[in-house]
Copies of this chain bind each other. A is one copy, B any other.
C-alpha cells in the first residue's frame, strides 16, 4: 500500500478539479492506494503539512468536483527555495507518499521537474498533470482547461455579437486572457456561424500591434455595420515589445498595466469620434462552469487518471501529454503520451504563424479547424429577423 499526493499550482481553470476527480477515481479503482492526499493551498501546503485525505469523502461530495470551478484544494504562486525541495522529500517519506502528482502550467511543470530531481534515489514517482487556460505548455497538442476557456470566449463573443448587431451604436472591445499566448483570444473566432458574424477583428499578442491599422480597420467596419465587435488579448504589445497600455502601478519587480480593452475603447472614441465600450470578463471566463467544454472535462479527468497510472507503473519525471492523431475523415482523435518533463519545463508555446492571418487582425481557417473539436458541442443557433428584411 502507498499514498498519493496531489498538488495544484498557479491560476485555476474550469476543469482543474476534474483532473483531481480522475486521480481519486483511478486510485479507488486500482485499490492499492491507501490515501489520496490533497496539498491544501498548493506547494506551500506540502511544507506546512496541510495534507487532507480525499478518499474519506463520499462519492456524492467527490462528484461535485466535476462542476466546481477553481480548485477545491487551493493553489498558490509560492516561489519554492532550494531547501524546500529537500524538505519535501522528507515529508513525502513521513506520510508514505509514493506518487506525487503536480497539476499546473509552465511554472508548476518547472517545480515538478525540480521535485523529480530531488526525489531521485528514492522510490517516489513524480508526474505532471498539465493545466492552463492559456494553452501555452510545450509539446502537448493542447492542455486541459483551454477547451473550456475557449468555449467561454466563443460563446460570449457570439452573445455580445448578437447584442451589438441588434443595437448597432458602438464598437465593443472584448478583452481575453492570455498575456503572451493568443490561444484564448483566437478561439473567439469560433463564435462565427456565417461570414460577417462577430468577432469582426481579432488582435493577438504574438503580433506587434499597430494602432494606425487598428483604427483603419475599425473605421471601415463601423461604416459598413454600425456595430463592431473586436476581441483583443490582454497582453498586446507594440513593435518594440512594450505593452500598448501604460503601467498603472509598480511594486518591486511587479508592474501592473491598465486594461487593453478600455484603452482601445478610449482610443476609438478620441481618434474616430465613434462611441466605444469595453468588456473584460477576466476571471469570469476561467471560472465558468456553464461554458465548461464537455470534451475538456472528459480529457481533464483522463489526464488525472493517466498521471496516477503512469506513476504506479513506475514512470517519473514525465507529464501527461495529448497527441492529436491524424484521421482519414478528419474526425477528432487524441492519444495520451507521457512527455519527459525537461521538454516542457518553462517553454512557452505561442500561437504559430500559420494560425494568424496576414494583416494580423484575425486567425486562419486552419486554426479554426484545430480548435473546433476542443470547445465541445456546437453553440446555440440564434434567430435574427433583421436578416430577412428586404428593403
Contact = CB atoms under 8 A, between A and B. Distances in A.
A15 to B, nearest CB: 13
B269 A251 contact: yes
A70 B11 contact: no
A383 B68 contact: yes
A346 interface: no
Interface in A267-314: 269-270, 273, 275, 277-284, 286-291
A172 B259 CA distance: 14
Given A40-B385, A384-B72, A269 B284 contact: no
A118 interface: no
Interface stretch (A91-99, A161-169, A207-215, A334-342): A161-169
A102 to B, nearest CB: 15
Given A50-B389, A52-B385, A70-B165, 18 more contacts: A11-B167, A41-B386, A50-B391, A69-B162, A71-B167, A72-B382, A72-B383, A73-B386, A156-B284, A160-B283, A160-B287, A164-B283, A249-B269, A256-B275, A279-B280, A279-B281, A280-B280, A290-B290
B383 A167 contact: no
Given A162-B68, A383-B68, A77 B169 contact: yes
Contacts of A62: 383
Given A69-B159, A167-B74, A380-B67, A284 B283 contact: no
A155 interface: yes
Question: 9 smallest A-B Cβ distances: which pairs?
Answer: A290-B290, A159-B287, A70-B166, A64-B383, A279-B282, A70-B162, A68-B382, A70-B163, A249-B269
B162 A287 contact: yes
Interface of A: 8, 10-12, 17, 38, 40-42, 48, 50, 52, 54, 57, 61-62, 64-65, 67-77, 155-156, 159-160, 162-167, 169, 172, 174, 248-249, 251, 254, 256, 258-259, 262, 266, 269-270, 273, 275, 277-284, 286-291, 380-386, 388-389, 391
Query: A52, A163, A281: which has the most chain B beta carbons within 10 Å?
Result: A163
A283 B38 contact: no
Contacts of A48: 391
Contacts of A391: 48, 50
29 contacts: A8-B166, A10-B167, A12-B163, A12-B167, A38-B385, A40-B386, A50-B389, A68-B162, A69-B159, A70-B167, A72-B166, A73-B166, A73-B386, A74-B386, A156-B287, A159-B288, A163-B286, A172-B283, A248-B266, A248-B269, A251-B269, A254-B275, A256-B266, A258-B266, A259-B280, A277-B283, A280-B280, A284-B284, A290-B290
A256 B76 CA distance: 38
Nearest to A261: B280
Contacts of A386: 40-41, 72-74
Nearest to A48: B391
A38 B248 CA distance: 47
A371 B111 CA distance: 46
Contacts of A248: 262, 266, 269
Contact of A65 (B172, B254, B266, B383): B383
Nearest to A49: B391
A291 B383 CA distance: 19
A74 to B, nearest CB: 5
